[in-house]
Chains A and B, each alone.
Chain A
Amino acid sequence: MKLRALPYLPWRPPRLERGPVQLNARRLYILPTRSGLVFALLLLGLLIGAINYGLSLAYLFTFWFAGTAVVAMLHTQRNLSGLRLAAKTAVPVFAGESARLLLETENPSGLKRFRVGLTHPDGVNEEYDIPAGGKTDLVLNLTVAQRGWHALGRFGIYSTYPLGLFRCWSVLELSDANAMPFGVLIYPKPARDALPLPASTGADPDAPTRLIDGDDFTGLRAYQAGDTPRRIAWKSAARSQHLLTKQFSGQQGSTLHLNWSQTPEKDTEARLSRLTRWVLDAHAANLPFALTLPGRNIGMGVGEAHLRTCLEALARFGKSDATN
C-alpha cells in the first residue's frame, strides 16, 4: 500500500514551510486505491448484471454501494482535513542507528481521526489514531548511514480510512523552529575498536603521545554501545545481569586534548569515527577534554552539553555549508 512516488509529485513546487501547517482542501489530494479501482470494476459488473436480469433491487444495492464509496471519499478527505502538523526536534543518533522523527499532529476538531500515517521513501511507519481535540506524535523511523544533518525532505501524510477505497494524502516539506529543514542530526559512527585515549600533553602538543591506560579505577557505569569489551566489568555483569563498563581516569588534573592529527587513521571518516569514540570514552570517564578539528577548536570542557557540542561538531565536520 505504500505508494513511494507520491511525495514527489511533479506539479508541487518545492516549498519549505515553517510549521505548524494546517491541512486543508488546497493541500489534500485524493485518488482511488487499487482496491478502490477493483471495487469500481465490481460495481460495473453488478450494474451490467442488474441491467441484464432486470433486477431492480440489484440496481438499488449497486447504487447504494457506489454511493457509500463516494461518501467514503468525503470521509477520507475529512479524516485528514484540519490536522495541524509541526516538526519536533529529533534526538540525534549515531550513523547506522534508527532515528525517530516526530511530527506533532494536532487535531483541533471534535472528530477523532483514524489511521493517519506518514510516507517517506526511506522510512518505515505505522498508522495512528488522533483523538478529538488531542495531539499525537506521528513517528517516522529512519535509518541513516551518513553522518551530518539529514534533512527529511518531502514526506507524505496519508489516510485511507474508512473503507480503504480512496487514499487521501498531502505532500509537505517542513522546517523546524530554527528554520532548519526538518530532519535529524546524525553523529559519526563511533570506531568499533577501543584504542586508549591519547595522553594529555600539557602545553606541548608535539610531545610524544602517552596513552593513558586506565590505571586509576573510578567506578562503573551502564554499558553504552561502542564500549570496548576489555572494559566491561564481566564479574559484576554476571551478578547483576546488566553490562557495566569500568571507568578509569588517567592522571588527575591532566588535560586531554583530542586532536584530529593524533588519530592513527588517516581517512577523514575514520578519523571522525575515532574522535567520536574518544569523545564518548572521555565523557564516560568523566574527563575534561578539548577537541581540535581542522578549522574548529572546542575548548576544554566536561559534561553532557560539552559532549553534544563536540559530537555535533564531528557530525557537521566539512558539511556545515550544505546543511544551513
Chain B
Amino acid sequence: MPLYLLPLFPLIGFALLILFPRLFPGRAAGWLGSATVLASFVVAGARYLGQTDTPAHEVLWTWLPNMALNANLSAGFYLDQLSALMALIITGVGFLIHVYSVSYMGHDPKFTRFFAFMNFFVAMMLILVLADSYPLMFVGWEGVGTASYLLIGFWFSGRNSEASDKDLRGASDREGVANSNAARKAFIMNRIGDLGFMLGMFLLFKLYGTLSIPELAARVPGAQVATAGIELACLFLLVGAIGKSGQLPLTTWLPDAMAGPTPVSALIHAATMVTAGVYLITRSHFLYDLAPVASTWVAWVGGLTALYGALSALNQHDIKKILAYSTVSQLGYMFMAVGLHAYSAGVFHLLTHAFFKALLFLSAGAVIHALHEEQDVRAMGGMRKFMPFTHIAALMGVLAISGIPIWSGFFSKDAILAAAYTSSPLLYVVGLGVALLTAFYMGRWYFLVWRGEYRGHVPHPHEADGLIKVPLGILAALATLGGFLNVPAFLGGGHAFDAYLGRAIPVHLHEIPAATEWLLTLLAVAAGVGGLLWALAEHRRRSLADGPLGQISSNALYLDRVYDGLIGAPSRAIAEGLDVVDRGVDGTLAGIARTSAAPGGLFSLWQSGFVRAYAVSMLLGTALILGYWAIKTIGGGA
C-alpha cells in the first residue's frame, strides 16, 4: 500500500465533510471521520508489519524544480522506524479520540465541522511526520497549526450562543471572546516559531544545497561546513520546535489552548501536534549530533520548561489546565532527552505520554460532561462513586504519569533520567524534582476530582456511555502496559523499543553500572511515590484545594503578565501613539479635502441646468470681451 494513502484518507474525509455537510445527518459525520482515520491506521499498521531495515522513500512528483545547484526538490513520503511509529501513534490514538468524540461532541450543533477539522488535522500531521523534506514537513507543520487554530477557537461564539436565556448568552459571548483570543494567541506564538523553522531551512539550504532529509542525512556528516553554521541552523530549528511544542519562552499559548473541546486537547495539544517539536529534533538528529551547543540549549530549554510546567500546575483549579501544564512539563522532559541525544528515550516518552495524557484528558472530558461543563476541580470530588469505570481509567493514567513501576511512565521517565544522569547531573536533579512535583500535582488532581466528598452542583452525575468507555479502556490498557515495549537490561528486558528505533536513529546507549541504575530507578520511584503520598497527606488535611506556591502557581509564574509588560504594553503604547498620529494625518487630509471641495461646490452651483443661466454666462463673457475691446479702442483713439 503506497504511503500517500495515509494522509489521503483523512483528507478525503475532510473534503467530504467540509464541502457536503448536509450529506451526513446525525452522527454519520463522526463515523465517516473515524473511518478515514481507521483506514489510515490500517495502512500504517500494514506498512509497519511489512517494514524492512531500509527506509521506504516514495517520491510523488517534482515539487520545486530547477532550484539552484541543480537541486530539484520532490514531494515524497519517507517511512523509517521513527515516522512509522509516529504514524501509528497519530492514527491509532487519533482513531480512539475520534470515536470518543462521536459521543462527546454528539450534541454540538457544529458536529460535522468538528470532524472535518479533526480529519484535516490528522492528514496534516501525517504529512508532517512522513515528509521526506523540510519544506514538505513545513506544509504539514503549518497545516496542523491551522487545524489547531480552528479547533482551539471551535467555540468562537461560546457554547450557548443560541441560548434564549440572556445571562447564559452573555456568558457564552464572553466565553467566545476568550476562546477566540486563545486561538489567536496560539496562532501568533506559533508564527514566531515558524520564522525560526524557515530561517533554519534557508540556512540548511545555503550550507548543504538541499532540503531533502535523506540527502541531508547522507551529506551532512562528511560535509566541510563550519560548526557555527550547523549550530546556528540547529538553534533556528529549535526555535521552530519551541513554538510548536509550547516550550519556554513560547509556552504560554498551550495552557490557553485548552479553550478548545476536550478531544482536541487530548489529540492535538497532548498526544500529537505538540510533540512535533520533539519529532523535528529527532528527525534532524544528524545535525544535532554535530551541534553540541545547540543540543545543550535544547536540553536546558526542556529542563526549565519541565520545571516551569510542574510549578505552574501545582495550584491550578481548572481540571484541564492542570493537565495542560502537565503536558508542558512532560514535553520539557522529551526536549531534555533529545537534547541529551537520548532520542530513543525522548521518543519513547512521547509514545507513553501520548497514551496516558490522552487518557487523562479524555477522562477529564468525561467528568466535565457528567458535571454539565463544570471545569473547576473545587466543585468536583467523589466522582469515583458516580463514574467507577472512568475512575479506574483515570487512575491508570495518574499512576503512569507519576512513574509508578510497571506503568508506562515509569519506564520512559526512567530512561530520560538515566540519560540526564550520565550527561548532566544538574539536569538530572531538575528532572528528579519535576518527577516529584508531577506526582504531587497529579495526585492532587486525582484526589480533588475522584476522592473525598462530592462538591458538585449536578445532582446525579452519570457514568459515560460506551463510545467514551471503549477508547478510555484501550488507552488505559496502553498506558499501563506500554512501558513493557522497552524494558531496560538491568530489569531483564531487551531494550526492544531502543532496538527498533535504533535502526533509524542512532541510540547512544550509556553504559551505567547496574547498581547505579538500580539506585536511579529507586530514586525516581521514591519521587513518584513521595509525590503521591504528599498529595494524599494534603488530601487528608483537606488543604489540597490550595496547592503550594499559591497565586504564583495559579498565575503560571506570571509569565503572561511579564510578556504583557515586556511586549504587550509597549506595543499598545506604540499603537496608541500611531493612532494619534494617524488621526492627525486623517484629520489634516479631511480638512484639505473639505477646503478643496468647498470652491467646487460653489462652481457646481453654476451648473444649475437652466439654459438661461448658461446664456447669462455667455453674455457676461461676450460683454467682457467687447467692453475690453471698446475701452481699448477709446484709449487707442485718445
Asked whether A and B interact, the reply is no
Binding site for A on B (CB under 8 A): none
Binding site for B on A (CB under 8 A): none
